[in-house]
Amino acid sequence: MSIPVLNVGQMREWEESTWKAGRSKTEVIRRVGHLVAERAHKMLKRGESVVAFHGSGNNGQDALQACRLFIEHEVHRIEAIHPAQALKEFESALALKPSLILDGIFGTGLNRALNEGFQKLIHAINQSGVPILAVDLPSGLNGDTGEPWGAAVKAQVTLTLGAPKRGLLSTQAWPYVGRLEVAPHIGLIDCPHSSDMMWGQASDFRWFPPVRPVDGHKGTFGRLGIIAGSLGYHGAAILAARGAQRAQTGLITLHAAPEVFQPIAAQLQSVMVRPSVAQGPDPSDYTCLLVGPGMAGEGVAQAARGWLEKLWLQAPIPMVADASALDLLPPSTAPAPGLRAITPHPGEAARMLGVKPHAIQDSRAESLRSLSKKFGDCWVVLKGCQTLIGRSDGPVFINPSGNPGLAQGGSGDLLAGWLAGLLAQPLLQSDPHKTLRYGVWRHGFLADELERERPHWTIEDLSAFQVFPEKHVENRPNILPEVD
């Protein structure tokens, strides 16, 4: 189940309600220590050593509990209460070439700027080059604003506890947070708070997409029309088609500019390829249309403006707009007769709203809602670190999967094809928000699995990558013994 994004005050209220309900703080710390140790083990090889910093607060207790579970790894514990002494101990520990730093110095209770001694300690930790796992949030970071209290640890992974803190989602926090992961089941009572921002989880899609009917045929699973490709950009059309194939759409037809028809058709087998026509596609031939990937060639997108505007406002079927098509969409206050989805990255979103890219990044959720309102209450997939999925009203979901390896040309084309291929299927059109969230999550999930298996991968690798179904399952069995 997705997790609400909370501020620090709400998180404290949740904890206090838990203690009043009779839950044991000791048991919560014990459980958190187990989760932290399990995550740390995934970052280590057998025999590698760990430096664990622990402060005087709950984060320090969590780190100490985790240290008890490092059975196959030597652990150097450093009490970070007197920073000068902690710095000396750390410099000595570095001579032993540790492979991981566990950061449990400060938590959400920090409410003032760090003194010079702690700033020096954190600077030394960051300069060491050793990967860092932060407990709950990087030490020195404000959990509400995402700004450092003078200095903050730059973690490779942050395992936040219970629920994501709002500040960890701000763009200024990203260099400190690294990969954000959530440990929701730490022994607290059910969360008493709600939020308009929700952190997605793999378990949201445990039985999704639903099992296909045994008597299904090609028509059961939709007909997707893709209008994509131009001279110099034909690869984007191919990747979009391959993304749709991964969605297992019933029938896929790609309409390509005549000058790139031949190289596109030569690389696709089960996808039908046809030369594009001046009047655009006939929407009655399809259950969904994707427009935009690879249409950046000179004059190609502009030539499509007339029919695209008409279809966007009037076509009764779902439509997905990506890449060059985003600049051609007509603003509208009225919803279209069919589902609409757009997939901009921050630069494209900035052009669509007439602002600078930093304005998008400074207020990503608000930007998403503004885009949706401007273009007929459409669904928006605002790509980037912690991709957002939502529209003008209702919850905005944050995608938990993906990694910087997706920052390659063609990644968005593959995703757009995948999303359109899902939305083309009538069985998946009743809950478009979940369908879009699944497509984004699946795209990032495969990238994460590929990163673990084969570094230096390409988008072509991603388009063909397979994993075993059991890797979908969240909360795999613990590999660590319980320790009293």
Domain boundaries, the chain: 3-195, 218-471
Q: What pLDDT score does 469 carry?
A: 53
Return averaged pLDDT per consecutive 10 residues of the chain, 484 residues in all. 95 96 95 96 94 94 95 93 97 95 95 96 98 98 96 98 97 97 96 96 93 94 97 96 97 95 96 93 97 92 93 97 96 95 98 97 97 98 97 97 96 98 97 97 96 93 80 43 41
Beta bridge partners of 160: 182
The yes-or-no answer to whether 3-195 and 218-471 have a common fold is no
- Cα atoms in the Cβ-side hemisphere of radius 13 Å centred on 421: 29
What topology is assigned to 218-471 in CATH? UDP-N-acetylmuramoyl-L-alanine:D-glutamate ligase (3.40.1190)
Is 310 within 8 Å of 332 (Cβ atoms)?
no
Q: What pLDDT score does 344 carry?
A: 98
Concatenated DSSP letters of 368-425:
HHHHHHHBTS-EEEE-STT-EEE-SSSPEEEP----GGG-STTHHHHHHHHHHHHHTS
What is the residue type of 14?
Answer: W
Q: Which CATH number fits domain 3-195: 3.30.70.100, 3.50.50.60, 3.40.50.10260, 3.20.20.140?
A: 3.40.50.10260
Residue 341 CA to residue 345 CA, distance in Å, equals 13
Is 190 within 8 Å of 167 (Cβ atoms)?
no
Q: What is the DSSP letter of 105?
A: S
Q: What pLDDT score does 205 carry?
A: 95
H or E, element range at 272: strand 272-275
What is the residue type of 118?
Answer: F
Torsion angle in degrees (nearest 10) through CA of 402, 104, 364, 163:
80
Q: What pLDDT score does 383 carry?
A: 98
Q: What pLDDT score does 37 carry?
A: 96
Is 180 within 8 Å of 168 (Cβ atoms)?
yes
Q: What pLDDT score does 448 carry?
A: 96
| Cut 0.85: pTM above it | yes
Is 102 within 8 Å of 112 (Cβ atoms)?
no
Q: What pLDDT score does 406 carry?
A: 97
Closest-CA residue to 290 (of 257, 319, 331): 319
Residue 99 CA to residue 252 CA, distance in Å, equals 48
**Length of the chain in residues, anyone?**
484
